């Protein structure tokens, strides 16, 4: 088995082609995935707000449903923030490596 030495990348087009090919295989881009995730978190926040409003106006009398909606919204928001923090940390680490 021959070992091929690693050299500097002369042209970034090979990487771009590989990235585009991987994106086409998965069918969903990173941007779309993050956007869908943020939209889901937003929907949960809206539903929690509506359930609190309905409880305050007397339309809903079950406190458990309101608390469950609020807990789902809180947990999903915390998860989104931790994911964001990890992505920012990864970006910063990559930027440090390039210097």
pLDDT digits (tens, 9 = 90+) for 49-70: 999 999 999 998 889 999 999 9
11 confidence band (pLDDT: 50, 70, 90): low
22 confidence band (pLDDT: 50, 70, 90): low
pLDDT for the residue 66? 94
pTM, two decimals, is 0.66
Nearest to 42 by CA among 87, 17, 76, 11: 76
Cα three-residue angle 86-88-93, rounded to 5 degrees = 95
pLDDT digits (tens, 9 = 90+) for 73-90: 999 999 999 999 999 999
Nearest to 47 by CA among 27, 29, 69: 69
């Amino acid at each position: 088995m021959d070992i091929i030495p690693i050299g500097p990348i002369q042209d970034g087009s090979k990487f771009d082609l590989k990235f585009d090919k991987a994106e086409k295989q998965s069918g969903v881009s990173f941007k779309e995935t993050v956007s869908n995730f943020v939209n889901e978190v937003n929907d949960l926040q809206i539903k929690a707000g509506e359930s609190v409003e309905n409880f305050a106006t007397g339309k809903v009398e079950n406190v458990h449903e309101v608390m469950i909606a609020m807990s789902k919204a809180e947990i999903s928001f915390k998860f989104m923030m931790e994911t964001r923090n990890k992505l920012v940390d990864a970006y910063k680490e990559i930027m440090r490596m390039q210097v």
